[in-house]
Each structure stands twice: as C-alpha cells, then as structure tokens.
C-alpha cells in the first residue's frame, strides 16, 4: 500500500473587531457679533476603539489653549471660543478617527464686529 502525501495551504485572515466612527449630526454654520461666546457642536458615535477627535481652523489643526476649549460629552463634540473676535471667522472642521475609519464635518463661522453691524443699520 502506497501512501500519498498531500499538502494544503491554509490562509488565516485577520478579523478586525470594532466599528468605525459614525457622523450623527453635522456642524452648523454660525454668524454672530463679537465678543459673543461660540459653541460649535456636532454628534459623532466614537466607534470601537473610541475615535480620537481633532479640530481644524482653515485646515490647520487647533489645540486647547486660552482661546479654544474642546469638549466631549457622550456623542457630542464641541469647540468653544469664550470671547469671539472677528479674526475667528473661518471654516472649522471636526474629525473623528480610529483604526477602522474617519468621519468629518465642516462649518463656516462668521464673526462681525459691533461697529460693522451698527454701520449697516445707520
């Protein structure tokens, strides 16, 4: 009796558990008069593993400092500017990123000075 050898190639795939972040509610454009407080908020399901949140002003990443505060409460991510200035007028973006994906949302912020509004009225 002759035994024949056989070989099989077995490929093992890597199963990735978790979920990509998901955008639930976009940022909304805002127009206001300085020095009003600005709160830009969106709703993002963070996914699994939880996504890192990043904020951008005119495509440049911004970080928490004396002008900007970033908060996260459940699915709500917010950028807060305590006392707005006309120079805060820009396009803002919030991005959520984890190893399974990325979502982003943009809005436009327009900040007027009180004198420019008064000039329009008179």
How many folded domains does the chain comprise? 1
CA angle 23, 27, 29 (to 5 degrees): 155
Residue 15 lies in a domain: no
Report yes or no on 5 lying in a domain: no
Residue 89: name the closest of 46, 25, 48, 33 by CA: 33
For residue 51, give its domain range.
22-121
pTM: 0.81
Say how far apart CA 26 and CA 44 lie, in whole Å: 9
| 24 touches 43 (CB < 8 A) | yes
Dist CA 47 CA 66 (whole Å): 30
Domain of residue 29, CATH code: 2.60.40.10
Query: 3-state DSSP call for residue 86?
Result: helix
**pLDDT tens across the length of the chain (122 residues):** 555 554 454 445 455 689 999 999 999 999 999 999 999 999 999 999 999 999 999 999 999 999 999 999 999 999 999 999 999 999 999 999 999 999 999 999 999 998 755 555 55
């Amino acid at each position: 009796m002759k035994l024949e050898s056989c070989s099989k190639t077995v490929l093992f795939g890597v199963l990735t558990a978790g979920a990509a972040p998901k955008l639930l509610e976009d940022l909304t454009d805002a127009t206001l008069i300085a020095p009003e407080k600005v709160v830009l908020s969106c709703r993002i399901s963070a996914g699994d593993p939880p996504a890192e949140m990043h904020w951008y002003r005119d495509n440049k990443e911004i970080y928490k400092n004396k002008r900007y505060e970033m908060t996260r409460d459940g699915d709500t991510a917010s950028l807060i500017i305590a006392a707005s200035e006309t120079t805060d007028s820009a396009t803002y973006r919030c991005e959520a990123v984890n190893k399974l994906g990325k979502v982003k949302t943009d809005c436009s912020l327009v900040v007027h000075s009180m004198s420019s509004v008064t000039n329009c009225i008179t």
